[in-house]
A and B are shown apart, each in its own frame.
Chain A
Amino acid sequence: METRKAIHMVDITKTFGEVVANDKVCLDIRPGEILALLGENGSGKTTLMNMLSGIYLPEGGRICVNDNTEVIRCPRDAYNLGIGMIHQHFKLVDVLTAAENIVLGLNEHKLIDLKNVRTQVKAICDRYGFVVEPDKKVYDMSVSEKQTLEIVKVLYRGADILILDEPTAVLTPQETEKLFAVMRNMKADGKSIVIITHKLHEVMEISDRVAVLRRGKFIGDINTADTNPQQLTDMMVGRAVSLNIDRPEPKEPVERLMVQNLTVVDADGVKRLDNVSFTAYGGEILGIAGITGSGQRELLEAIAGLQTMEAGSSIRFMPPGKEEVELVGKSPLDIYKLGVGLAFVPEDRFGMGLVGSMDLSDNVMLRSYKCGKSAFTDRKTPRALAQKIVDELEVVTPSLNIPLRRLSGGNVQKVLVGREIASEPSLLMSAYAVRGLDINTSYTIYRLLNEQKARGAAVMYVGEDLDVLLELCDRILVLCAGKVSGIVDGRAAKKEEVGLLMTHLEEEAKA
């Protein structure tokens, strides 16, 4: 059967400096299908889609839309061809309302007619099952609402081909289900959808066809019904990879950290953490689950000494072979010296812990420049350590002397995690350590965390992917709106159970 093509991309090439992001990629998108675009970090998925949506201009190759060769110079060209992209980092103006964001860039020579917009937005919402409040400001919206707004914005512009770049990375399981339902509605309406994702189970669930990229090259495409996660992983990575995360039984767990009645109030007077109590054991991985912003960040920061705590909070730390210490009231440096490491990976990766414009060894030195008695800093030790991190974690970098900003996100993350692990902490806290990382690198990080666990360190792992938390952690603490809504056994708990706990408190309040 001859298949019609909505988009036909031939020999697309794009380079950034010396890095070849896309190397003669050919890709077809058929009308009315959901195509999953799969690949590791830096394999060029987003770059390829950015060329379709007019953000980047390809250096070679051609793009056919509905059998006509087109040159997409800017996002406006893409809209005119019916192509709309929902970017990973939402492209919304915070201080404007939903409706204003939707009409942005349209009807340049007219007054703003928001009434008309509202009616049309409502029509789109009713058709596909969205909920959008046209007069709500974007800064008041949740992540899921923002994403819905992005999709509505693209549909309002008459897009027939929607590209979603890692749409589920920030959603809860329930929100993801809702998104998938909407995607199925759109597909039934004849729209083509491209979804970029790392999560294989989502690929299996939602897509009709999968296309795989590896290091900027097109590897192949396959009907979802004819494949399985293992085969897809092998295509992505280029060799056989084990998809199971190790979870050795904890060896002689000892109490390492006892948090009692921890309460943190932020500058606005909002309780970020409310009476949190738990114990972390050496030799186990304690997972921390919760919707983004439920207090994960504040919890780790409080332990690392970066938050002011309310009276009554107590954090007792029992370093191996030493006396018990109260961490509340100690400076971050003292706490670090006691053997508490914090590897926090914020959304932009440079917010905490690393300086983008400094090179690798300088970044490693941030942890040690105060050591030694000489007036001059010791540059040799950090350099050697940086070299060790590069070798052991397979950081891809031309040299130790280039600014960290130039490395890809995954490599930057390896440096951060590697540096914290290198200090051999007896309590290692990592937050979002695998955020945005591909499968291969993620597994390297899991392996590192397991090594620390085997060494007897207490590991606290804040994660976003429930599947991973359930496979990696011995116990999972679930935070909901700053409160502990439950601590479950990682081996016995079900995903739905944890998902429910993540939203549990709100329901309790309603009841």
Chain B
Amino acid sequence: MTQLISLFQGGIMFGTVILYGATGEILTEKSGNLNLGVPGIMYMGGIVGLMSVFFYEMNNPAPNKLLCILIAMGCAFAASVLGGLIYSILTISLRANQNVTGLTLTIFASGFANFFGGSLNKLAGGVGQISVATTSAAFRASLPFAQDLHPILSMLLGYGFMVYLAVVLAFVTNWVINRTSVGLNLRAVGENPATADAAGINVTRYKYLATCIGAGISGLGGLYYVMDYTKGTWDSDGGIERLGWLAVALVIFSSWKPKRGIWGAYLFGMLSWLYFYLPGLTRRSMELFKMLPYLVTVIVLVVVSLRRSRENQPPAGLGLPYFREER
């Protein structure tokens, strides 16, 4: 029982990271932009958020917790939007290849983040590991009474606020996409930009906004990873990148539906941690179990394409540049 609860908790925390990434990427892909720079954008969100509060904490002996959170989130979001903006300018305005641009962005941002991450560790001195204790504690604070509740309840309520924010964001994204005119127009842009254009929708604006806001949401996943998952430290072992790719896989798994992404994220999280809780695994068989989320994605892809349901397909215009006067 304790093991199961612990697996569940691990799954939710792991899932939250990729839920941010996937929600942002779904929003982006709904506009027809396939942004493979998600891992990079999560890197940028993570490192910039970390840097901002590191300097704030360094210069303030008694940092304000609320301010810590606001600074970290604001900076992480802004940095991620910037990443999305770079991608947008390259692919939408200059019509560069989306796959190449996205991958380049990931490579660039992982170097960028690990460079500054290393510098921060050096600046921090001591054991060579920075820590933003106050901010991280603020991010991780759960409701004060959560720990005293029944284990099942505390399993649902005992997390930092970003876990719940991720779910709320996924629901809001779902609502915007499916219930509002803006969402309808966005879907049209992603499905068939020429049609959207002929219907009087400003395709460029929709693509820019969806990509940049989507990147901002994805970047929060990086921030959550740094602040909560690794408790306010920086490790340069490529953890964010690994989760970033899982977020991309989750987009496919959820067949571009933010609501399905929520339980998908937690499922991925638990599958990723499963090896830790299964008794009698050797190092070799552990690696096999780490494959599970990817394996599930493959299976879902196969099942979805077998069922040929039109509702579960990627946006038809995904990955294609649009230029009105093209012949």
Contacts and interface: CB of A to CB of B under 8 A. Distances in A.
Size band of the A side of the interface?
20 to 34
B319 to A, nearest CB: 17
Contact of A79 (B192, B200, B313): B200
B185 A111 contact: no
Given A16-B327, A103-B184, A104-B188, A137 B194 contact: no
A95 interface: yes
B316 interface: yes
B191 interface: yes
A239 to B, nearest CB: 28
Q: Which of B179, B313, B327 has the most A CB atoms < 10 Å from its CB? A: B327
Interface residues of B, number: 27
Interface in A48-101: 53, 55-56, 74-76, 79, 85, 87, 91-96, 100
B197 interface: yes
A106 interface: yes
Contacts of A95: 187, 191, 310-311, 313, 316
Contacts, number: 84
A108 interface: yes
Contacts of A79: 200
A107 interface: yes
Contacts of A93: 187-188, 191-192, 195-196
A94 B310 contact: yes
Contacts of A96: 184, 187-188, 191
B192 A109 contact: no
A268 B192 contact: no
Contact of B310 (A53, A110, A139): A139
A403 B202 CA distance: 32
A93 to B, nearest CB: 5
Interface string A110-152: 1110000000000000000000000001010000000000000
Given A93-B191, A112-B184, A105 B325 contact: no
Contacts of A91: 192, 194-195, 198-199
Contacts of B187: 93, 95-96
B191 A105 contact: no
B324 interface: yes
Contacts of B202: 74
Interface string B172-197: 00000001111011011001101111
Given A93-B188, A93-B191, A96-B188, A87 B181 contact: no
Given A75-B197, A94-B316, A137 B181 contact: no
Given A95-B191, A137-B310, A268-B308, A100 B198 contact: no
B253 to A, nearest CB: 19
A53 B201 CA distance: 14
Contacts of B180: 110-112
Nearest to B180: A111
A356 B197 CA distance: 25
Contacts of B184: 96, 100, 103-104, 112
Nearest to A53: B198
Contacts of B182: 108-109
Nearest to A137: B310
B181 A110 contact: yes
A304 to B, nearest CB: 26
A75 B191 contact: no
A103 B181 contact: yes
A104 B199 contact: yes
B310 A104 contact: no
A55 B192 CA distance: 15
A22 to B, nearest CB: 13
Contacts of A56: 324-325
Contacts of A107: 181
Contacts of B310: 94-95, 137, 139
Given A55-B324, A91-B192, A108 B198 contact: no
A105 B181 CA distance: 8
Contact of A112 (B181, B191, B194, B199): B181
Contacts of B308: 268
B201 A104 contact: yes
Given A91-B195, A111-B180, A112-B179, A104 B325 contact: no
Contacts of B192: 91-94
Nearest to A95: B310
A76 B308 CA distance: 35
Contacts of B185: 104-105, 108
B199 to A, nearest CB: 4
Given A55-B324, A95-B310, A137-B310, A108 B181 contact: yes
Nearest to A57: B325
Given A93-B188, A95-B191, A112-B184, A87 B311 contact: no
30 contacts: A55-B324, A55-B325, A74-B197, A74-B202, A79-B200, A85-B198, A87-B198, A91-B194, A92-B192, A93-B195, A94-B192, A95-B187, A95-B310, A95-B311, A95-B313, A95-B316, A96-B184, A96-B187, A104-B184, A104-B185, A104-B201, A105-B188, A105-B196, A107-B181, A108-B182, A108-B185, A109-B181, A111-B179, A111-B180, A268-B308
Nearest 10 pairs of A and B residues by beta carbon? A76-B200, A105-B199, A91-B195, A105-B200, A104-B199, A105-B201, A91-B198, A93-B191, A93-B188, A75-B198
Interface of A: 16, 53, 55-56, 74-76, 79, 85, 87, 91-96, 100, 103-112, 137, 139, 153, 268
Interface of B: 179-182, 184-185, 187-188, 191-192, 194-202, 308, 310-311, 313, 316, 324-325, 327
Given A93-B196, A112-B181, 18 more contacts: A53-B198, A55-B198, A74-B197, A74-B202, A75-B200, A92-B195, A93-B188, A93-B191, A93-B195, A94-B191, A95-B310, A96-B188, A100-B184, A104-B199, A104-B201, A105-B188, A108-B185, A112-B179
